[in-house]
Structure 1
Amino acid sequence: MSIFVVALLPAATTASPALAGPSSTVERVSTAMAMAGVSPTADRAKVTADGSVSIDNLRPAVSLRAGTQTVRAEVQDAAAAGSSTGNGTRVYGDVARNTDFAITTPGPGTVQILAIMHRSSASNTQRYKLDLPAGAALTPVGGGYLITGSGGTVIGTVNEPWAKDAKGRHLPTRYEIDGTTLVQRTETAGAEYPIVADPRITIGLGVYLNMWGYELRATAIAYLAAGGAGLAVACATASRLPSPLNIIASIACTYVGSNAVKYLFRKAVDIYNSNQISDGTCYQIKLGNTGDRWKRVSASNC
């Protein structure tokens, strides 16, 4: 999975920090994240893929590989910029007018790209050039896209984006496709800077759902309380399911159909009934594989 995050910083009323120093860039990125109340950690029921990640040292760009499949995302028309690492984050100073970028890897197969705009004169539109595998295409789904291979198999996704300002308010944001470029536009009128927008992109030969033990336990209990095997589960009406089933189903339905979603619920009940759930342990199941089960994995997946 890879994640793009876009952040805008306010117009300065005093002299702004110099853009040249990598250490000051790291500090500005960290400040922007803190002010917007966003961290590079994933939300509940994190989706991961088994692709590998390679971050460019000189340009804000990243490649994700799974087997013979490669997806590359690069900030379009970005000037070459030196980078440094701070707190696990690689930063790129003064990439565009009043704009820094940063890339971090918050988990396995996961990348997060931050665009930091320091003044209102910086564009609120981010353009990411995508290089997809031969024959692959972007298929609209909800506010995002599926990345489908030449045979129609889903090899990744571009999840629906969101944006928040410094007060935690959600802002209107959307994707557009311009040729091979993914464009994100965020409406900033009336917002308080910094603004953080977070679309997500995944690629992998396998796509996995990850949950902490306490989340998995809650899912099993909710499924049983809602009727268990007799509960009707349909992706088209996933949002109507009781919480947290609605959240899990909505995430999983991005990748698989209704029967596969119901299967992962049943497997949650199986491990719950076996008394093998530890609240502080991360559990994982491969989406779309009806022979899989919830199993313990490294905490970094959650």
Structure 2
Amino acid sequence: MRTKRTTRLAIYAALLSGALVASGVTAASAEERDPVADAIAQAPLNAQVINDQHESASVDLSTGEGALVAENAHHQEASISYDLDSGPSLTLTAQDSRSSNGADTTAQVLSDGSARLLTVFTDADSNLVSKYATEIPEGWAAQKRSDGGYDIVPGPVLRDALGKHGLSGEFVLATIDAPWAVDANGAEVATSFELVGNQLLQRIKPDANTAFPVTADPRVVGHGYYFSIYYNKSETRSMRDTGAVVGFILAAGAAIAALPGGVAVSAVLYTVGAGAVAAIATVAGNASGEGRCLKLDVPSFIPTSVKC
């Protein structure tokens, strides 16, 4: 004979089962929830992700100079790369996927023109580390920023050569954004990057209040090249002629292309069109007549008359 207590428990169980069915969730499916998939779905900027956890994807940059690629292979082997049309690329590849501390990594492309490797740590550990093999184009170097991220900029040889050819400005191929990590409650977790040789390490430091899983990522943003070329008075005077304009630009491109890492910059110089050449010659003529010099912004090839 059933007791009142047994009957009451049976009623509670029936009510709970009915609630789960009504919501489309069964007891079995509740137990089968994937904590990694849940963490990925709740990651910052998730609304901008264009591929799912196991898909690869590629998106062309709005500047038309290259593409951002995310590759997800078997067993969650993942990599992201910023590939320029001129050949060089910056690539990050996840290492130690599904390691002993429960790390799981997926590559994602975002609609804002960035790509990231999202790593989820499901097991508590006092010292979590994500390891990424980093391939930086020849002639370029990683320069650490004050926020803990890295800019990929010309190395010493390329930088000096650019200066000798009158090129200056923002030569940032791409940026590895400042590191971040959040726990299951959305609370920030202390984290930092360290570049050791060709390996990027992201160290995550959970504390007693950290709720697992913890999600973290390195995010790559491609910039292309935005710089200016400054010409002296003699060069400006010569560039009143369209032939001289073409000659100066192609000469700079050829000299830079011969340097390690220079082909990417020279490829941008070679995109100058006939309309831009005519406009440059006109501004150079006006600048020369006023005792001023020519400045040329690239890749827009907009000429400006400046003091010199």
Q: Which protein has the bigger helix share?
A: 2
TM bucket by the smaller chain?
0.3 to 0.5
Larger radius of gyration: 2
TM-score by length of structure 1 reads: 0.48
TM-score by length of structure 2 reads: 0.47
Higher relative contact order (CA 8 A, sep 6+): 1
